[in-house]
Amino acid sequence: MKQSSSSEASATMRVDYTSAQITGRDLLERTTRIGDLQAVFADEEARLELPPETPVYRVQAHIPAGEAVAGALSFGNTVIEPGRVGDEYYMTRGHFHAKRDRGEYYLGVSGVGALILMDEGRRTCWERMEPGTVHYVPGHTAHRVANIGSEPVSFIAFWSSDAGHDYATIASQGFSARMREVEGEPTLVPA
Ligand code: PAN
Ligand code: ZN
């Protein structure tokens, strides 16, 4: 009788590296629309002029161990449509991780994006995201992505399952700078 065995198991998930679309089971999916983004963009009047059902970004997430297990990893995608609210590019809501020391990787898949990073001293910088770029979001750093191109922006993210998302701090204090179109160029403008 054999003491041990080995066998090939097939991967249960796949990623399309042209669109970041994930297929497989146990995927959470969420679409965030203009109507969900109250007070996120500077020009609230311009936001209210857009149809509230307009999709801004969608996320797929695979969190196999749930969100409470230290050491477990999750991954997902984000696809942000091109567009602007006033002169500010469509972007994600943005957050700190609730467990502040948890970092994250973002991998650019399609389109041209701006990863906006803000540390706890409210120092803000940005990195251009393009197909193939790799971005490390350190702990203690708020992060959001703006679509600064004319095609959808997509990226894949990997994070600690127990990181948690603190949206409240950004909702009350915002980022210290915003990605706006200034003279035709994406520009990080102090808020
Ligand atoms: C990402 C983000 C995703 C959507 O998966 O959750 O880009 O952005 P908001 O969560 O700010 O709406 C991530 O950073 N996870 O930790
Ligand atoms: Zn995050």
pLDDT tens per residue across span 124-152: 999 999 999 999 999 999 999 999 999 99
Ligand 1, pocket-test mutation among 58, 59, 145, most atoms within 8 A of CB: 59
**Considering the entire predicted model, what is its pTM?**
0.96
pLDDT of residue 69: 95
pLDDT of residue 3: 61
Cβ neighbours around 61 below 10 Å, total: 18
Token pair for residue 112? Answer: 């041209």
Q: Is residue 44 helix, strand or coil? A: helix
Return the H-helix or E-strand segment holding 96: strand 96-97
Measured CA to CA, the distance from residue 68 to residue 162 in angstroms comes to 5
Contact 156, 77 (CB under 8 A): yes
pLDDT of residue 2: 53
Stretches in the chain below the pLDDT threshold 50: none
**For residue 12, which of 2, 1, 26, 30 has the smallest C-alpha distance?**
26
State if residue 94 touches ligand 1 by the CB under 6 angstroms criterion.
Answer: yes
